[in-house]
Chain A
């Protein structure tokens, strides 16, 4: 693997993770529990879409084969996607969406803060921009975990159930492979093992505050680094890609 190939794959991983999460979150548009939350999640999805666009634009440039960010988003199949599995999991109820978001926001803030020090100027620039946005995303998801956890029996139960369902997918965020190894050596990628202890500490404090219990067992579902996904991604792509695939030359 050349460093150019590694960087292409790394950009796809980051870009796909943002794109698929944003696509999932945007399913709440018009279905939020009340107007302000509907706007909140739509706004958050929009920020994450924007980040995905910038990253896929850079991926296309790194690949150097004349593809655009739209080609990458709309004309790749599931096995060619590298988004983290946690992002493609169904939204479930609002509590599950929120707890998934809290786990991801906590990771993302630490990750992009480190990435902003990357030797790759484009990645560092996108990361620095993202930190501002993830900061208020995290404030939003953390505050709702707290409110649901300390709310009614119903809200607590829904939150705990959501956590139980999403938990086995969180560990994959920290998985590294030869792409990471190569790019860490060049000062480009973030060493994910350095982020884990802090993430665990912050999340366990959040869970404790909301009276939640992290599920027992240490099973971690992985696969996305190799392009292996559950069935959910295929349905997301079918919906997201159907229009451009039907009219590949259409212009807005």
Chain B
């Protein structure tokens, strides 16, 4: 019989399909698992309502669990509580930065994300704070497009929601 810890560590082997340096567990989308010897139900929450990677994540979870001895895998999408970047671990944030994506700098508690006034985001390459937002929207739903005024590189910022 598996333990919950085992299962979470199995699921930690599954990378985020769009940001492969972090796992789907680190991303915070796996909310809970309930299981017996043969059957397992996984509660998963979308990062963004329309995130096209969700289907891929579900398929990956199903495959991983079947490979590890479960016979039926039920994926249950839950919307409450809504996913927030606050669930990204400190470790995941460092991985994002090393990968070239600026991690979310604020907590949603300060509500600055609602007014659109964001702090100066640190350039993930040269660490300068002299950066500007090019667009609130980037290459995927979860990112905004920024540019560093010092090293002149464009970079993605993982939006804070």
* B and A form one assembly: yes
Give the B-binding residues of A (Cβ under 8 A): 22, 36-37, 39-40, 42-51, 53-54, 121-122, 124-126, 128-130, 132-133, 135-136, 139-140
Answer yes or no: B138 CB below 8 A from chain A CBs: yes
Are B135 and A50 in touch, CB under 8 angstroms? Answer: no
Are B49 and A129 in touch, CB under 8 angstroms? Answer: yes
Give the A-binding residues of B (Cβ under 8 A): 46, 48-52, 77-83, 114, 116, 134-139, 141, 145, 161
Q: Which residue of B lies closest to A39 (CB)?
A: B137
B79 CB contacts on chain A under 8 angstroms = 54, 122, 125-126, 128-129
B48 CB contacts on chain A under 8 angstroms = 46-47, 50, 133
B51 CB contacts on chain A under 8 angstroms = 46, 50
Name the distance in Å between A222's Cβ and chain B's nearest Cβ. Answer: 28
Q: Is the interface of B mostly helix, strand, loop or mixed?
A: loop
- A125 vs B83: C-alpha distance when bound (angstroms): 11
Within the complex, which residue of B52, B81, B114, B138 is in contact with A39, where a contact is CB–CB below 8 Å? B138
Q: Is the interface of A mostly helix, strand, loop or mixed?
A: helix
B134 CB contacts on chain A under 8 angstroms = 36
Q: Which residue of A lies closest to B135 (CB)?
A: A36
- Which of A36, A37, A45, A124 gathers most chain B CB within 10 Å? A36
- A53 vs B52: C-alpha distance when bound (angstroms): 12
B77 CB contacts on chain A under 8 angstroms = 54
Q: Which residue of A lies closest to B52 (CB)?
A: A46
Q: Which residue of A lies closest to B78 (CB)?
A: A125
A54-B79, A125-B79, A126-B79 in contact; A36/B137 too (CB < 8 A)? yes
